[in-house]
Amino acid sequence: MTFRFLRQIGAFAAASLLCAVPASAQDEPFDEYLESVAMKARSEGVRQSAIDSVFTGLTPNDRVLALDRENVSSSGSGTSTGFPSMAGYLARHNTASRINGGVRKLAQVRSIGAEVERQYGVPAEIIVAIWGHETAYGQVMGGFDLPRSLATLAWEGRRRALFERELIDVLKMVDQGVPRSRLEGSWAGAFGNGQFLPSVYLRLAVDGDGDGSRDIWNSDVDTMHSIANYFRDAGWRTGEPWAVRAYVPNSADRSGIENHVNSPVCPRVHERHSRWLTVREWRERGVEPRSPIADDTMAALFEPDGPAEPGYLLTQNYRVILEYNCSNYYAMSVGLLADEISR
């Protein structure tokens, strides 16, 4: 349920382990820390009434601290150069129940999906697949008090800049009229059907049904519009597949297509992809797409489990899925779930 954020934390965990946690982080009393955040929030225009309704009586959550520590130690230990099997991951995550749930959800939101697709250019099955992976189609959205989680993580200090920003943004949500009682989510501060963070909510959530509230907890329409808006904002290209399965001949020169560009964001994810060529250039190298894709589309080859296993030509839209959660396992499972439920 907290997939996106857990992943993001995971990506930074190794680096964070190398940086000393400020020794004084928790020497500062929680209430004093909240007062310093309140001052910053006021300087950004948040009304005192919103601050009071969130901060009054707030205490740190030990469970959140424990989960954060567990997350650091488990992510930090992965130093092997081999990668876990994609096939194994897909078998665990794209289960029959998740696929069937997606087929039902897609049918249930068919008319909203058509409208959203027309308006944002993002296919309904991609949105529903995100929804399935984030919260099992809204069944598991997390029951942590959001301001309490964010305040605890910001106060703890390991990633204060990030969580303090999110804490001020959750105050802004309340200032804008989001009911205090609605602020529940994951231990790491993500919430609603698509597990947005407060900063993402403020920037990209959409009131799709026009009732005056951006309700990504309870409204299917608002949820679909909001996830689609996220994708459009991240550069989704209308009409382009996220990837296509591809036949790669044994004779293909894999060293000749290596990617030598270091990605500025999550390089360990991007370094597993080949360099980018047009589909026409892939065909000239004997790589054959198994489903329709235009010849001038730019694509990178990805063979997650090695040359003997399925290969994929990834497009720009795959990178958009990575924007939601920068993990090849996540993006492949979202894309393949979308393919599966739209069959």
How far apart CA 327 and CA 73 sit, in angstroms, is 19
Measured CA angle at 126 (ends 123, 132), to 5 deg: 145
The residue range among 127-135, 211-219, 258-266, 298-306 that interacts with Ca ion, by the rule CB under 5 A, is 211-219
| Alpha carbon distance 209, 221 (integer Å) | 6
Binding-residue pattern over the window 41 to 80 for Ca ion, x denoting contact by CB under 5 A: ----------------------------------------
CA nearest to 15, candidates 78, 70, 76 = 76
- Of 188-207, which residues contact Ca ion (CB under 5 A)? 207
CB of 320 to Ca ion, least distance (A): 24
Q: Specify the residue for token string 């794209």.
A: 94
CA distance 20 to 305: 36
State the minimum distance, in angstroms, from the CB of residue 226 to Ca ion.
10
Q: Which helix (H) or strand (E) holds 244?
A: strand 243-247
Decide if residue 305 touches Ca ion (CB under 5 A): no
**Closest CB to Ca ion among 164 and 215?**
215
Q: How far apart are CA 247 and CA 20, in angstroms?
A: 48
Smallest separation (angstroms) from Ca ion to the CB of 232: 18
222 binds Ca ion (CB under 5 A): yes
Q: Which segments within 103-238 are labelled E, that is strand? A: 144-145, 184-185
When the beta carbons of 48 and 218 are compared against Ca ion, the nearer one is: 218
Measured CA to CA, the distance from residue 213 to residue 178 in angstroms comes to 8
Residue 337, C-beta contacts closer than 8 angstroms, at least 6 positions apart: 94, 98, 99, 102, 129, 132, 133
Q: Give min distance, CB of 266 to Ca ion, in A.
A: 33
- Applying CB under 5 A, the span of 45-53, 148-156, 177-185, 215-223 interacting with Ca ion comes to 215-223
| Comparison of 169 and 222: residue with beta carbon closer to Ca ion | 222
220 near Ca ion, rule: CB under 5 A: no
Nearer residue to Ca ion within complex by CB, 70 or 211: 211
Q: For 149, phi and psi rounded to 5 degrees?
A: -60, -50
State which residue, 120 or 163, has the beta carbon closest to Ca ion. 120
- Give 95 or 176: the residue with its C-beta nearer to Ca ion: 176
Q: Residue 300's beta-bridge partner residues?
A: 276, 314
Q: Residue count at the site for Ca ion (CB under 5 A)? A: 6
- Between 209 and 305, whose beta carbon lies closer to Ca ion? 209
- CA gap 290, 299 in Å, rounded: 14
Binding test (CB under 5 A) with Ca ion, winner from 26, 76, 136, 209: 209
Q: Which is nearer to Ca ion, 186 or 223 (CB)?
A: 223
CB of 209 to Ca ion, least distance (A): 4
Residues that bind Ca ion (CB under 5 A): 207, 209, 211, 213, 215, 222
